[in-house]
Chains A and B, each alone.
Chain A
Amino acid sequence: MSKRRQRKLQTGVLAACVLVLTGACATSTEPTSTGPGLPEPVEVDSPEPSLTRLTQAQYGHAIVDLLGPDIAVPTSLEPDVALNHLIAIGSSSTTISPRGAEKYEEAARSVARQVVENEALRQSLTLCESMREWPACYEKFAVDFGRRVWRRPISTEEADILVGLATQAQEALGESEGAEVVEDDYYRGIEMILSALFQSPHFLYRVELGEPLPDDPTHRRVTGYEMATRLSFFLWNSVPDAALLDAAEAGSLGTSEQRAVHVQRMMDDPKLRRSVRNFFWEWWQLFELDQLTKDPTIYKHYSSDLGDMAAEETLQLVEHVVLDRDVDMVELLTTRTTFVNRRLAAIYNIPAVVEDGFGMTELPADGLRRGFLGHVSFLAQNAHPVSTSATLRGLFVRELLLCESIPPPLSEVNTALPEPTPDAKTMRERLTVHMEDPACAGCHALTDLVGLTLENFDGIGRFRWTENGVTIDASGELDGATYNDALGLQEALGENPKFARCAVNMLYSYALGRPMGVGDTDQYLQLTERFEANGRRFKQLMVDVALSTGFERVGEVSP
């Protein structure tokens, strides 16, 4: 519980600033018939950069993008850690542990070994025409492939070290004698270079050192290569391709007009899909679902693989609304469309549409289940193993969907809830304790009154009309909007401007690997205004973030 509770302060502070500033702010980029046009430059004060470690997903995508699908991607790596709710932010704050360093070494050796044992792959990467030219071939490989792996040019000194390692390996392990040379010996050296490239901090971290703006040395931006990397990790969740690196080398990523060309190309690439999935996986805490535990004696539909299925439903809906249809993202909260396999269909009490895997279906028009708030991924995760939790569900809505900050409970306060009694059979009746005690009421009114509306869904997400024989009172209130059931809450959330603003806040924080700060206020206002003007279409928001001033800026390193 505390894990969820503590991270929102900075964005909460920002949200307060925004309320004050909204009236004074007027950004004026009119949508045009061909699209909304490029965002105008705004004032941004960026913090100093930090090294961002590749997440487990990024490490895997990078290996596949660099070496193809034949490589078995190592999965035993430094664990991801979420901070301010996002793994993207945790990755720019946490370190590589001693155990992690060991795992990265093992992983790099495994990748290197697989490459040189794969005849086709090793030849496609490192063909050397004459065995006499090994050192030159090693150098060419180190410089060319190294540039892809480290996302920047390899210096002469770096190349020398890599070639030295290759030569050492070839000599120590090789079977060549005298003038007689064996091809396998050559690949011993290539294996060493790969092993060194993939465990280097230049691969494991995204390094941003920045440079002064050409026309304004008081501000700094990321370099061309760093921009290529920012774009590719944001839009593809992986390393840049050769075209992006070439653009960086040619200096053609410097302006937002230049970047727009590449951003459009990247938005049209299938790799966009995994990036969008990854963002929602982080934002909506779907990464916690692989640990989903329910008491199977209470919830017959539970099994240990349910969490992963539930996450997949939500991610397929995200792809459908955000990518395939490219409509107002509020539909994620209000749509009757969803994607179920047989197991989830059974929980929703609807017909399974396909025998295997997931199929698209419409939830019943006369039911209360709509959108993400009706998904097992939300309902079961934000509940206890044996019961619902109106507090956890409300807290998720407040903190993750509205980007509000709810302080932790006071210490030395008795937190016991009364057992169900003849007078207090429902969760609502039991939770009145929270409302009566002034030490609790301030925050629990914000969370519980939201969560209680979802009491029609039990701890795993099954629909129910009653609790302990009493009809559930699902009425509630959200920021002034009152309603009687979950449909009303879904509608109120969709109409609440904080939801769209929260999406902007989270995506921007995700893209830059840091929480939004006060120095981003103008940028935040501009992005929000454009997002609302563009019908809250998420793809356009991604483009806007990628082309925003904040996305290209970086603070000065303070040594």
Chain B
Amino acid sequence: MSQNKFHRRMLLKGFLGGALVSIGLPALEIFLNDSGSAYADEGPGDSGFPQRFGLFFWGNGMLPDRWTPEKEGSDWELSEQLAPLANVKEYITVVTGTGLGVPNTTPHAAGAGGILSGAPLLDPYSNDSFSIQSIDQVIAEKTKENTFFPSLEFGAKPGGGLSYNGPNSRNPPESSPLAFFNHVFGGTFQLPGAEPIVDPTLALRRSVLDAVMGDISWLKTKVGQADQIRLEQHFEGVRGLEKRLARLEEDPPNLAACEFPTQPLEAYPDIEGRPQLQEKNQIMSEIAAMAFACDRTRVFSNFFTSPVNNNLFTDAVAGHHQLTHDEPGDQPQVHAINLQCMEALARQIEALAAIEEGEGTLLDNCVLFGTSEHGLAQTHSFEEMPIVLAGSCGGKLKTNMHYRSAASENSSKVLLTICRAMGLDQSSFGAEGGKVTDGLGAIEA
């Protein structure tokens, strides 16, 4: 673990009393290629740096009456529930008033599928599986060719995760901070400037993977259609691994901001039956941000908590899901939990903003999409979906504004806008009732 990361962090975060100020340190020239960045491909972002997508998901919605900011446009102020985002207000756009176009067949599960894939569930009454890719994987399709990992999934209490490659094909998230650290930065990770790994067993492992791919391909010719799709997914996974092993023999990307993140603790045991959600989220958010800075991946999903989760939050008198249904009145307990979710979102945004990149920060070249599976969870509502975007995605998106959809537009419009900002050539997003062909022009720069 290098010592100098502390210097830079302190410079960025410590000296200014917690207020988030980024200082554009000039990137060391030695790390940069002719065009000023060390990336093999030229990202379409205005900054010359690649664009990245992050998802931040929390379960069980929010309270729309206390969530929606009063003023619209760029002259806006944070609402009661958004208050924890004060330090990052200038980097975010809040979209309110949109709703899901998919049928509300199964509480929570259908909402998760609706907001993340824009489509009804695979079998709306008996299977939680999405019917099509979730947005992170739609984007990873494009970005994965350039990075070590196609995408990363993690979370403080993520459940089974909501990142889908396709029907019945989920990317299970990592919930142990140390396991996440080891996955991304352990073992074979090389800092910029290090020599490529020379290891004759790498070639042998690739030969085995070739044989495995051969087995999968043979099997594919024997089985039915559904199994062929499953085997294709499996094949893709093995092929990706083989490519990763090949990359180990190349120079690691030379990126100025790339360094080891802080190593997490072995375990984060529950305290008084309460999971250490904030602590876990903080450290995993930093690892994920550094994964972007080191170009380990360009897509991550932070599943902070899951739909229907009944976690005991700090100071809460009951599980989150139970409270959303049982707490009467204006639900002060639920509100307090929503604030804790927004604090976690703030930490993820800050982790991205704390890393300098070119003239600005990493966050400038990201779009972070914060959302949940319901608006008001008490009624399992698909109206008033919570949407927070952070980062301008290389100048493609507006920041520091509140857009309110007066006509209750389809939430999928935001997802289409995100995809286009990420440089995807998408004519539509979603399927059936969740499908849209227009983005949300008002938030596009």
Contact = CB atoms under 8 A, between A and B. Distances in A.
Given A192-B208, A385-B273, A409-B380, A293 B170 contact: no
Contact of B212 (A8, A200, A411): A200
Contacts of B219: 51, 201-202, 205, 207
A94 B270 CA distance: 31
Contacts of A48: 224
A347 to B, nearest CB: 16
B201 interface: yes
A297 B273 contact: yes
B209 interface: yes
Interface residues of B, number: 73
Given A6-B127, A98-B240, A415 B378 contact: yes
B272 A296 contact: yes
Interface residues of A, number: 74
Interface stretch (A115-123, A165-173, A354-362, A465-473): A165-173
A200 B215 contact: yes
Q: Is the interface of A mostly helix, strand, loop or mixed?
A: loop
Contacts of B238: 101, 105
Interface in B237-274: 237-238, 240-241, 269-270, 272-273
B203 interface: yes
A97 B107 contact: no
Interface string A297-331: 10000101000000000000000000000000000
A386 interface: yes
B169 A94 contact: yes
A51 B127 contact: no
A499 B229 CA distance: 37
Contacts of B223: 49-51, 207, 209, 557
Interface string B84-111: 0000000000000000000011111100
Interface in A60-91: 78-79, 81, 83-84
A96 B208 contact: no
B236 interface: yes
Q: Which of A6, A7, A200, A413 has the largest count of B CB atoms less than 10 A from its CB?
A: A6
A79 B172 contact: yes
Nearest to B312: A385
A9 B214 CA distance: 39
B127 A7 contact: yes
Contacts of B230: 51, 94-96
B40 interface: no
B328 interface: yes
B310 A100 contact: no
A109 interface: yes
B166 to A, nearest CB: 8
Contact of A109 (B160, B205, B212): B205
B28 interface: no
A488 to B, nearest CB: 28
Contacts of A294: 273
A25 interface: no
A386 B208 contact: no
B314 to A, nearest CB: 12
21 contacts: A2-B106, A5-B106, A9-B125, A93-B168, A94-B168, A94-B170, A95-B165, A97-B165, A98-B241, A99-B171, A105-B205, A195-B205, A297-B272, A302-B273, A304-B269, A385-B273, A386-B322, A412-B379, A417-B325, A557-B223, A557-B224
